[in-house]
Structure 1
Amino acid sequence: MPAYLISHDKGARGDILIEDPELTLTFSGDWAIFSDAQGPHLAIPAEQGVSIQRVDEDQDAKPAG
């Protein structure tokens, strides 16, 4: 099951781990958007200064997108 680790580059906030197999990550303009069949659930603007890594249970962390 894929999971996504969201880390704030400036260290201002804690890391967030998203472990929902229904969510997909897409990019639209300067936004990273986590959605499922019901629509968007989380949108992060590029200017917020975060990094997003895909983390699979059976593999090491990989960059998303």
Structure 2
Amino acid sequence: MIRYVVAFDGTDDLIVEDPALELDLRAEWAVFNDSAGLALAIPIDRIRSIQRIDQTPTEEGGG
């Protein structure tokens, strides 16, 4: 499962996850897409950081 944590200034963090999740960083937006299309768009000026937190395929397979 692909998973990101989005940290905002002045509010709680958001975890976004989906098996087919892709992140597209644009001029003013962080856009998350999945196999069905647009899943979430967040204005860049609201975001403190974005970090991918899922396991790599090697870690999931145990070696």
TM-score, normalized by the shorter chain, greater than 0.5: yes
Aligned to 1:31: 29
3-state SS of the aligned residue for 1:47?
Answer: helix
3-state SS of the aligned residue for 2:45?
Answer: helix
TM-score, normalised with respect to structure 2: 0.71
Aligned to 1:55: 53
Aligned pairs, number? 56
Deviating above 2 A after TM superposition, structure 1's stretches of 4 or more consecutive aligned residues are none
CA drift of 1:25 comes to 0.5
3-state SS of the aligned residue for 1:56?
Answer: coil
Aligned to 1:63: none
* Structure 2 residue runs without a partner (length 5+): none
Bigger Rg over Cα = 2
CA drift of 1:56 comes to 2.4
Aligned to 1:4: 4
CA drift of 1:49 comes to 3.1
Cα root mean square deviation, aligned: 1.6
* Structure 1 residue runs without a partner (length 5+): 59-65
Query: Percent identity between the aligned chains?
Result: 39
TM-score, normalised with respect to structure 1: 0.69
